[in-house]
Amino acid sequence: MEFFERFAIPNPSPAIYASMVAIALVSIGIVVGLTYFKKWGYLWREWLTTVDHKKIGIMYLVSALLMLFRGGADAIMMRAQLAVPDNKLFDAQHYNEIFTTHGVVMIIFMAMPFIFAFMNLVVPLQIGARDVAFPRLNAISFWLFFAGAMLFNISFVIGGSPDAGWTSYFPLAGNDFSESVGTNYYMLAIQISGIGSLMTGINMCTTILKMRAPGMTLMKMPMFTWSAFIANVIIVFAFPVLTVALIMGTTDRLFGTQFFTTDNGGMDMLWANFFWVWGHPEVYILILPAFGIYSEIIATFSRRNLYGYTSMVASMVLISLLSFLVWTHHFFTMGQGALTNSIFSITTMAIAVPTGVKIFNWLFTMWKGKIRFTVPMLYSVAFIPLFTIGGVTGVMLAMSAADYQYHNTMFLVAHFHNTIIPGVVFAMLAGLTYYWPKFFGFMLNEKLGKVTFWLLTVGFVLAFFPMYITGLDGQARRMYTYSESTGFGPLNMLSFVGAALMAIGFVVIVYNVYYSFKNSSRDIGSDPWDARSLEWATHTPVPEYNFARTPQISSSESFWDAKKNGHVLFKGELEEIHMPNNSGVPFILGIIFFVAGFSFIFGLWVPAIIALIGVFICLGLRSFELDHGHHISVKEIKETEEKLGGAK
């Protein structure tokens, strides 16, 4: 019995027991459903073993949407708790767990897979490649992310959730102050998915550098590909820092090392520094691809080429460099001294300059354009003013002297949600709507999409703008309640109403998918938006090999040139196409990493060592494996092309 006690929840509540039942029922439902409809084979052949970048992208997309609802449930619980003063809905411990998992889930397990989804779906098509450089590695990246996400999500029913904040500062996150296994979950789940992210970074950099179609020089790449490239370069240089920090945090907690302890020389601020040396570039890893998606959408729906292509690229390169030089601004109040704070104030404010350049470029793209206010364009148009407000409050926070007033208040919470929601979340939803027809063969309903857009925008403003005011009035973040005499009550109620509107908006998205699946036309052609870049030059749905012939590129908008100026994209005869083989190893590796992570979290050393040996066996087998892939014959290509509407 003693063995099993470690898996018990330290702070149980009826809601958690209800979740356990729900998780069990859903799991049984999935197993029964798959068996009843005889879909196990289909699932294994088409999805679990796939190395196709499009299918991996779709799996990232589905995971990101699921995690969006998980993180969203945390968000609505927090706003409900704070809606009225002295609320007793949750106690302090539960509130700590909720805001911690909200942060981690939204950044690591929602936003990251969302951008990886678009990188996987779009980048190989935009550069005219058959797949990414290392398709098998790509599958491993996904399954490591998925293993990490599942590991993190079972924490609240097995052993207890992390409760030290998504930043997990030491000494709070050390064994003395975080006794439950929750923070172990944090360390290992993020580690596993972080290794996956690093592999994606290497994979995408190689793909973009070496696999572009003939004629596509670096400065002729579509803007989303550029943004993905820069984001992946940042991933390669930022994620190893997180890897090391997490290893040190893990060994401090599990093996008694002294990195971040408060005696025997340990230095807790080292964690804060490492965390933000990764953490600040991380926000640019998220926002730059979002900027890329906006660039594609704004150009398409303004019917103009992107204004200031070169300055767009230059500003992204500058942002990527500056992103590594600002981390200290996350803890101005922790005693670095005036000189250090001043330097980091200036570097932080400097980021506003290239970002401003991008804002003006989007505005000039729209200037005198024939704008169509479709759902993706609405998100993009709302993004510009809302994100600018978030940027301006960011510059306010960057002033280190003034930051002593804002630090750890709701003002900060309002600021970063004001950049992340209109910046990243709106971009993801805009991208979802924009690319949906390319990968699923039907459009999402415009009217329902507009309902969602307005619910989210109005909900966002109501939810977060009041926090600027309560923050300036002194409402601290991460406090589970406040007294009536503070006067924060009405504005927090307003925030709750806004959060509820956003929740309704997300539910409408789900209904929209269902409604459009039932009712939308399947006869939409391959280019329903009249778009400009290469991903729209192939069929819908995209065949396994992407392009029957490799496209010939002459400008950054070759597809537009092909449509309007008679540029010939596809020349020459069909040739046999070489494709990689499917493999079950990535999925199995995901399971092994899950087992290893779980065993480390609970200090079960025997299964942990067995699982690690399993990893090395997989690596060894891969070394000896002879895998030359397979070829698609010209006859098969012709048949597929005819079925999809004639060879283009």
Q: Give the binding site for other proteins (CB under 8 A).
A: 133-134, 198, 201-203, 205-206, 209-211, 236-241, 243-245, 247-248, 251, 255-259, 261, 263-267, 270, 274, 277, 578, 616, 620, 623-624, 626, 628
Residue 630: strand, helix, or coil:
strand
| CA neighbor of 304 nearest in space, from 625, 606, 531 | 531
Q: Using the minimum distance from each CB to other proteins, give the nearer residue, 75 or 233.
A: 233
Q: Using the minimum distance from each CB to other proteins, give the nearer residue, 571 or 578.
A: 578
Q: Using the minimum distance from each CB to other proteins, give the nearer residue, 136 or 539.
A: 136
Distance (Å, whole) CA 648 – CA 646: 6
Q: Residue 550 Cβ, how far from other proteins at the closest point, in Å?
A: 12
Residues 6+ apart with CB under 8 A from 385: none
Query: At residue 174, what is the residue type?
Result: G
| Contact in structure between 123 and 213 (CB atoms under 8 Å) | no
Q: Residue 124 Cβ, how far from other proteins at the closest point, in Å?
A: 13
Q: Using the minimum distance from each CB to other proteins, give the nearer residue, 201 or 422.
A: 201
List helix spans (H) across 83-222: 92-104, 112-126, 135-153, 182-210
Q: Using the minimum distance from each CB to other proteins, give the nearer residue, 238 or 499.
A: 238
| Contact in structure between 288 and 319 (CB atoms under 8 Å) | yes
Q: Residue 206 Cβ, how far from other proteins at the closest point, in Å?
A: 4
Q: Using the minimum distance from each CB to other proteins, give the nearer residue, 92 or 209.
A: 209
| CA neighbor of 376 nearest in space, from 288, 312, 444 | 444
Q: Residue 334 Cβ, how far from other proteins at the closest point, in Å?
A: 15
Q: Residue 626 Cβ, how far from other proteins at the closest point, in Å?
A: 8
Q: Residue 551 Cβ, how far from other proteins at the closest point, in Å?
A: 17
Q: Using the minimum distance from each CB to other proteins, give the nearer residue, 57 or 201.
A: 201
Q: Residue 210 Cβ, how far from other proteins at the closest point, in Å?
A: 6
| CA neighbor of 568 nearest in space, from 550, 582, 546 | 550
Distances in whole angstroms, Cα of residue 447 to Cα of each of 302, 518, 520: 20, 15, 12
Angle at 238 between CA 233 and CA 239, to 5 degrees: 105
| Contact in structure between 222 and 126 (CB atoms under 8 Å) | yes
Buried b (16+ CB within 10 A) or exposed e, 377-404: bbbbbbbbebbbbbbebbeebbbbeebe
Task: Find the radius of gyration of the CA atoms of the chain.
Answer: 25
Q: Residue 252 Cβ, how far from other proteins at the closest point, in Å?
A: 8
Q: Residue 189 Cβ, how far from other proteins at the closest point, in Å?
A: 20
Give the DSSP letter string of 580-601: PPP-SHHHHHHHHHHHHHHHHH
Retrieve residue 272's tokens: 């804060």
Q: Using the minimum distance from each CB to other proteins, give the nearer residue, 11 or 251.
A: 251
Chain-centre distance of CA 524, in angstroms? Answer: 29
- Report the DSSP pairing between strands 630-632 and 577-579: antiparallel
Q: Residue 241 Cβ, how far from other proteins at the closest point, in Å?
A: 5
Residue 158: strand, helix, or coil:
coil
Distance (Å, whole) CA 394 – CA 417: 11
Q: Using the minimum distance from each CB to other proteins, give the nearer residue, 134 or 332.
A: 134
Q: Residue 28 Cβ, how far from other proteins at the closest point, in Å?
A: 41
Q: Using the minimum distance from each CB to other proteins, give the nearer residue, 18 or 209.
A: 209
Q: Residue 518 Cβ, how far from other proteins at the closest point, in Å?
A: 43
Q: Residue 208 Cβ, how far from other proteins at the closest point, in Å?
A: 11
Q: Using the minimum distance from each CB to other proteins, give the nearer residue, 211 or 507.
A: 211
Retrieve residue 86's tokens: 């002295």
Q: Residue 596 Cβ, how far from other proteins at the closest point, in Å?
A: 16
Q: Using the minimum distance from each CB to other proteins, give the nearer residue, 238 or 283.
A: 238
On the 0-12 / 13-18 / 19+ scale of CB atoms within 10 A, 478 is middle
DSSP state of 107: I
Q: Using the minimum distance from each CB to other proteins, give the nearer residue, 317 or 384.
A: 317
Distance (Å, whole) CA 328 – CA 277: 8
Q: Using the minimum distance from each CB to other proteins, give the nearer residue, 45 or 631.
A: 631
Q: Using the minimum distance from each CB to other proteins, give the nearer residue, 237 or 440.
A: 237
Q: Residue 586 Cβ, how far from other proteins at the closest point, in Å?
A: 17
On the 0-12 / 13-18 / 19+ scale of CB atoms within 10 A, 254 is middle
Retrieve residue 567's tokens: 């540029």
Distance (Å, whole) CA 291 – CA 357: 12
Query: At residue 321, what is the residue type?
Result: L
| CA neighbor of 430 nearest in space, from 384, 495, 396 | 384
| Contact in structure between 328 and 344 (CB atoms under 8 Å) | yes
With residue 579 as reference, give the H or E element that holds it: strand 577-579
Q: Residue with structure tokens 């099993």?
A: 4
